Structure 1
Amino acid sequence: MYLSRRTLLRSTALGLLAVPAAACSDSGSTGPALVRERPILTHGVAAGDVRADGALVWARSDRPATMIVETSATESFTDPVRFEGGLLTPDTDGTGRLRLTGLPAGQQVHYRVTLEGDDGATSEAVTGVFRTAPSVAGDIRLQWSGDTAGQGYGINPDVGGMRVFDTMAARDPHLFLHSGDVVYADGPLKESVTLPDGRIWRNTVSEAKSAVAQTLDQYRGQYAYNLTDDNYRRFNSSVAQIVQWDDHETVNNWYPGEVLDLDAYTEKNVDVLAQRAFQAYHEWLPVEPADAVDGRVYRKIGYGPLLDVFVLDMRTYKDANGINTGAAGQILGAAQKEWLIRELGASTATWKIIANDLPLGVVVPDGDTAFEGVANGEPGPPSGRESEIAQVLSAIKAGRITGTVWLTADVHYTAAHRYSPDRAVYKDFDEFWEFVSGPLNAGGFGPNDLDATFGPEAVFVHAPPAPNSSPLDGYQHFGEVFIDGQTSEMRVDLLDAAGTVLFSQLLPPPAR
């Protein structure tokens, strides 16, 4: 059989190979035959940014192929509804997303993804499930955490990989909020790490994880690595995600305009690195830039009459880490700050979760004189980045906005912080809670000092006795919010990786 150059190139791109056919005793044919290779879904499936009528479904193909999603109310996929997406190509590293619409509110949706080459060859299906946002009050279970595969602790085959994801999946959450540091692009992995007590932590490794990420392909490889963990892929297919980003998606403690002084980097301009990191982030996660307010990260996810989630970006718009005093500090930026105040005021949800990727009152140094987060360690009136948070807190009070709860990660321990004007230097705000969780699979640290400006009290803390404790030491965490559909009460649990509840706080429904 003759193959033209055009056909051969097209066949190679689609994974079609011309190979000799095995001799057939019936026909005697020994000529070459065209064997079609099926496209492959390489890293599982995921759903994110759920709405009342659907969600965003993500997948990746090993070759150019069209993404097909079918949905059903049952696992048997009786009478499935078919959605056809675009062509997945190398331009996006084979990844793609498809927004599903027209589905019923408040329902469990089974979905399966297949890939279809333009020659008709189809992949095996990979299935998942998510719950659409409800239209009426009902129970809601939301989990959150952050910090995945950091400080040299990657996928350890000796302990079955990232088992915390199976622990979370077993609790059947409706939503999972990843609070940032989804990957550690600045954290190369070695095949083994010798712990202080002589134990050995082993890692599976990949080429991309052998050095700090600088190129686009290296940033893409950070996400690909994490999704080689079976537990993580299973979890991704079982719950709708809400994903934000922080620093390690790019480089530790970064801020716009920074120029690195690190020997490991040949590209010193952080703005260049952040652009590549941003592209990989949106390619490899179930997020859609067009759904964000400015086409980047911050956005609101509505989940029925009981819950709105406000996803912040405290990374892209912050000022330099060394400038965190005075009256004009920036952590959100003017546009995001005004958006948050406006949308909180417009929200009719009983509970308003504010997902802040950096804690409010935890002092996080960046070297000896600079600060990574909001707090600056000065227990006086708001200054630096605290000034923007003070404006948000005062607007919440002035607008009589109720039911705000802040959820964060970043600091690699878990804690419950109650902020009160009775203890604070700055008093123009109403009492509120901030809950901290993490890490998922990274070194354990903390606890950090608290800044008195907004009067935080550490009601509960679970942190390791020594810094950079391994995931073997029991200081990996996730948090869980349960909203009772009948009483509207919120219960916040802080758990370890085994699923043990370490702390629980019941919050009564706010007065309307």
Structure 2
Amino acid sequence: MRLPFFILVVAFTQSSLAQLPANMYGDTANAPFYHGVTSGDPLADQVIIWTKISSSAAIEKVFWELSVYPDFSWINKRDSVVVDASTDFTVKVDVTGLSPSTIYYYRFKDEQGRYSATGTTRTAPLSTDVLSHMRFAVVSCTSVYSGFFNGYKRISERNDIDFVMHLGDYIYDFVDEDEEVRVPSPYPSVPSNLQEWRDRHAYYLLDPDLRAARQQHPWIAIWDNHDLSNIGAPDFDASIQAFYEYLPVRISDPSDSSKLWRKFSYGALMEVYMIDMYTKKDIDLITPTDYHILGQEQDYWLKTELSASTARWKIIGNQKMVAGWSVIGLPSWFPGDGTYLTTSSWDGWDVARDELLLYLKDNAINNVVFMSGDSHVTLVADLSDDPYDPGNYSGSSGAGSIACEFLPTSLTRGNFDEMGISSALLPLATSLSNTANPNHVHAEFVSHGYGIVDVDPDTLVAELWYSDILNQTNIESFSEGYYVLNGMNHWERSTLSTPSASKDTLYLLSNRDILSNRIVAYPIPTSNAIHVSISDEQGQSAIQIHSLEVYNLANGKMVKRKTLRNSEQSVYMDVSDLTSGTFALVIYDDKKEKVGSIKFVKISD
């Protein structure tokens, strides 16, 4: 027996039938998987897939399957899992044995044969792969009570991003009384135990736009203060448990689930380091009087990884603003304490911040870009150990900057206008703030939305995308783009008035072109070689390959051929001598019959 849906939608309260605000409803078309599906923490050979089955039974057996085909005409992986109330009937599977740089489709099924929605995910490339282009979305501060999730919907509609990076405050423990846009009845209270934290997560998933963003892309997420109870509170561990149950986040250390930090490799192009300054601050001393913001263990891990990295770009995802934000001398109506905008950011741990930045400088670690959230404003900033000293840093050129920071605004949480600051004062507020903070390349205080980060070997572009939060809309606006060049460590002072070109969908969609053959080919794009095999329904190499032909799609001519003396199940094809471009690889089996083809992109070294 399963819970009727009218009970399910009142998960946040057990006392009475709720009145749901606009655009809040479960996925009844895929009952009993009302809360949708998602995936996350992609590696080259594995990814987490997730759903929740609504049930009043003691246990539920849930089947899952994963395929390179959206119609599941053959299955790469399948299995089942038994869930119960100990995980709130959430299903979280870390699927292993996958191919790198591959789109997969996944779904779940109950014992009565009813299916969930179909999710789309992508594995990461091999750490040694040479890539020409990566692209991801950055989002934070997503209160369902403060507005409509139009930004999530727009993210779900993009087909050229590799993952969504969420930097915390994915859920909110409270309703801001100045931002009551979509508030259910009864009025939500602050969670205080495990079930209430679970119910808050489940309530959020009644929003179809959040479900869509989770369904269409793998997520890489971290928590922040509103995702968890207060540190040391009786329900703090419970809030962490609920976070892991509802988010596709891998527990890197089962003995200590508070260790959230982890790394993701995207070939030689970039590495992503997700860190946690929220739960690890104020534990270890960095000087006799100053505390670490990351703690000694995490700080050592991050520095070791950065020093060892051979990737072109090093992306650090963290919860709080890294750049200093001085409000000294600003009018009393400007937010802050008279010295800083907020000391809950890295401004509250200035010694630890400077120590990390100087480590980057002293060890010549270049191309470090921090992604940040929490502040509910847009900020594009250079990072310097002393940005207020013109002998140490130049605000006009960026000279002296050690690293960069990109802080897209909140998706829905209130910023300066919701705080009651008059619109007439906003231009003055921006001007005064920029004068007081020379490392702020761009600051904007009222818009809501998300960021798109576009990465190639020469340039990292940070784009600002804004949308309304007070009404449902399909309209979003591109504000502008900022960019940093390889090796420069500061944002260029010129801006981009148009979005960067969409990512080559051959990389993201190559497996959609496979019709009847189970081809595994990677890496795509490639600069040197392609590894090719053809698998059976269990994902094992099965078909013997006799020869391969490469055709230039620009003119249709065959440019390369490889014939094997003895047929093999897995073949290495050298394409280093080809010019950059788009090609088709045609495969023949040991009967010399064509068994399939796949497109690939050849890039220069």
TM range, smaller chain: 0.7 to 0.9
Q: How does 1:156-175 map to 2 (within 5 A)?
A: 161-172=148-159, 173-175=161-163
Match of 2:482 in 1: 505
Match of 2:23 in 1: none
Report runs of 4+ in structure 1 exceeding 6 Å deviation: 323-326, 364-370, 446-453
Read off the aligned partner of 1:45 and give its amino acid letter.
V
Query: Bigger CA drift: 285-294 or 229-238?
Result: 285-294
- Tell me how large the CA RMSD over aligned residues is: 3.4
Aligned equivalents of 2:151, 2:116: Cα separation in 1 = 26
- Aligned-residue offset at 1:279: 1.0
Kindly indicate whether residue 409 of structure 2 is the aligned counterpart of residue 444 of structure 1.
no
Aligned equivalents of 2:39, 2:325: Cα separation in 1 = 34
Question: Aligned in 2, Cα 1:337/1:452: closer, same or farther, shift over 3 Å?
Answer: farther
Read off the aligned partner of 1:182 and give its amino acid letter.
Y
Kindly indicate whether residue 47 of structure 2 is the aligned counterpart of residue 55 of structure 1.
yes
Kindly indicate whether residue 174 of structure 2 is the aligned counterpart of residue 186 of structure 1.
yes
Question: Aligned in 2, Cα 1:408/1:511: closer, same or farther, shift over 3 Å?
Answer: closer
Question: Aligned in 2, Cα 1:14/1:220: closer, same or farther, shift over 3 Å?
Answer: closer
Q: How does 1:390-401 map to 2 (within 5 A)?
A: 390-401=354-365
Could you tell me whether the CA contact under 8 Å between 1:143 and 1:175 is conserved in 2? yes
Q: How does 1:482-497 map to 2 (within 5 A)?
A: 482-484=454-456, 487-497=457-467
- Aligned-residue offset at 1:313: 0.7
- Aligned-residue offset at 1:423: 3.4
Match of 1:102 in 2: 97
| Alignment partner of 2:62 out of 42, 46, 67 | 67
- Aligned-residue offset at 1:438: 2.5
Aligned equivalents of 1:300, 1:105: Cα separation in 2 = 16
Render the CA deviation track for 1:244-292: whole Å, top value 9, x for unaligned.
11111135xx5x4xxxxxxxxxxxxx43232121111111111122368
Aligned equivalents of 2:434, 2:257: Cα separation in 1 = 33
Report SS of the residue matched to 1:289.
Answer: coil
Aligned equivalents of 2:310, 2:435: Cα separation in 1 = 31
Report SS of the residue matched to 2:216.
Answer: coil
Kindly indicate whether residue 449 of structure 2 is the aligned counterpart of residue 477 of structure 1.
yes
| Alignment partner of 2:122 out of 127, 131, 142 | 131
Match of 1:260 in 2: none
Read off the aligned partner of 2:464 and give its amino acid letter.
L
Match of 1:403 in 2: 367
Match of 1:375 in 2: 347
Read off the aligned partner of 1:109 and give its amino acid letter.
Y
Match of 1:289 in 2: 251
Read off the aligned partner of 2:346 and give its amino acid letter.
V
Question: Aligned in 2, Cα 1:317/1:450: closer, same or farther, shift over 3 Å?
Answer: farther
Q: How does 1:7-406 map to 2 (within 5 A)?
A: 40-63=32-55, 64-116=59-111, 121-135=112-126, 136=129, 137-149=131-143, 152-153=145-146, 161-172=148-159, 173-187=161-175, 202-203=181-182, 205=184, 210-251=188-229, 254=230, 256=231, 270-290=232-252, 294-296=256-258, 297-319=260-282, 327-363=289-325, 371-376=343-348, 385-406=349-370
Render the CA deviation track for 1:8-34: whole Å, top value 9, x for unaligned.
xxxx5899xxxxxxxxxxxxxxxxxxx
Read off the aligned partner of 2:172 and give its amino acid letter.
Y
Match of 1:416 in 2: 380
- Aligned-residue offset at 1:45: 0.5
Question: Aligned in 2, Cα 1:511/1:210: closer, same or farther, shift over 3 Å?
Answer: closer
Could you tell me whether the CA contact under 8 Å between 2:361 and 2:402 is conserved in 1? no
- Aligned-residue offset at 1:362: 4.3
Read off the aligned partner of 1:183 and give its amino acid letter.
I
Match of 1:19 in 2: none
- Aligned-residue offset at 1:339: 1.0
Question: Aligned in 2, Cα 1:427/1:271: closer, same or farther, shift over 3 Å?
Answer: farther
- Aligned-residue offset at 1:46: 0.5
Kindly indicate whether residue 421 of structure 2 is the aligned counterpart of residue 459 of structure 1.
no
- Aligned-residue offset at 1:418: 1.5
Aligned equivalents of 2:479, 2:3: Cα separation in 1 = 51
- Aligned-residue offset at 1:106: 0.9
Read off the aligned partner of 1:75 and give its amino acid letter.
P
Question: Aligned in 2, Cα 1:406/1:456: closer, same or farther, shift over 3 Å?
Answer: farther
Report SS of the residue matched to 1:461.
Answer: strand
Report SS of the residue matched to 1:46.
Answer: strand
Read off the aligned partner of 1:509 and give its amino acid letter.
N
- Aligned-residue offset at 1:409: 1.1
Read off the aligned partner of 1:205 and give its amino acid letter.
P
Could you tell me whether the CA contact under 8 Å between 2:107 and 2:115 is conserved in 1? no
Aligned equivalents of 1:13, 1:298: Cα separation in 2 = 37
Aligned equivalents of 2:405, 2:352: Cα separation in 1 = 17
Question: Aligned in 2, Cα 1:450/1:93: closer, same or farther, shift over 3 Å?
Answer: farther
Aligned equivalents of 2:114, 2:248: Cα separation in 1 = 20
- Aligned-residue offset at 1:451: 11
Read off the aligned partner of 1:139 and give its amino acid letter.
H
Aligned equivalents of 1:68, 1:456: Cα separation in 2 = 56
- Aligned-residue offset at 1:436: 0.8
Aligned equivalents of 1:53, 1:359: Cα separation in 2 = 33
Report SS of the residue matched to 1:308.
Answer: strand
Aligned equivalents of 2:288, 2:408: Cα separation in 1 = 30
Match of 1:265 in 2: none
Read off the aligned partner of 1:140 and give its amino acid letter.
M
Aligned equivalents of 2:86, 2:337: Cα separation in 1 = 39
Read off the aligned partner of 1:211 and give its amino acid letter.
S
| Identity within the alignment, % | 26
Aligned equivalents of 1:140, 1:291: Cα separation in 2 = 28
Could you tell me whether the CA contact under 8 Å between 1:337 and 1:388 is conserved in 2? no
- Aligned-residue offset at 1:434: 0.6
Could you tell me whether the CA contact under 8 Å between 2:143 and 2:172 is conserved in 1? yes
Aligned equivalents of 2:68, 2:482: Cα separation in 1 = 35
Aligned equivalents of 1:298, 1:215: Cα separation in 2 = 25
Question: Aligned in 2, Cα 1:284/1:81: closer, same or farther, shift over 3 Å?
Answer: same
Read off the aligned partner of 1:102 and give its amino acid letter.
G
Aligned equivalents of 1:146, 1:496: Cα separation in 2 = 13
Question: Aligned in 2, Cα 1:292/1:451: closer, same or farther, shift over 3 Å?
Answer: farther
- Aligned-residue offset at 1:367: 7.2
Aligned equivalents of 1:128, 1:114: Cα separation in 2 = 13
Could you tell me whether the CA contact under 8 Å between 1:145 and 1:409 is conserved in 2? yes
Aligned residues: 419
Aligned equivalents of 2:90, 2:169: Cα separation in 1 = 20
Question: Aligned in 2, Cα 1:132/1:431: closer, same or farther, shift over 3 Å?
Answer: same
Question: Aligned in 2, Cα 1:509/1:219: closer, same or farther, shift over 3 Å?
Answer: same
Could you tell me whether the CA contact under 8 Å between 1:362 and 1:451 is conserved in 2? no
Read off the aligned partner of 1:96 and give its amino acid letter.
V
Question: Aligned in 2, Cα 1:91/1:294: closer, same or farther, shift over 3 Å?
Answer: closer
Could you tell me whether the CA contact under 8 Å between 1:414 and 1:477 is conserved in 2? no
> TM-score normalised to the size of structure 2?
0.63
Could you tell me whether the CA contact under 8 Å between 2:360 and 2:402 is conserved in 1? no
Query: Bigger CA drift: 56-65 or 425-434?
Result: 425-434
Question: Aligned in 2, Cα 1:202/1:180: closer, same or farther, shift over 3 Å?
Answer: closer
- Aligned-residue offset at 1:203: 2.1
- Aligned-residue offset at 1:52: 0.8
Could you tell me whether the CA contact under 8 Å between 1:420 and 1:456 is conserved in 2? no
Read off the aligned partner of 1:506 and give its amino acid letter.
Y
- Aligned-residue offset at 1:202: 4.7
Aligned equivalents of 1:227, 1:185: Cα separation in 2 = 15
Structure 2: gaps spanning 5 or more residues: 5-29, 327-334, 394-399, 418-428, 468-474, 490-605
Question: Aligned in 2, Cα 1:371/1:202: closer, same or farther, shift over 3 Å?
Answer: closer
- Aligned-residue offset at 1:212: 1.1
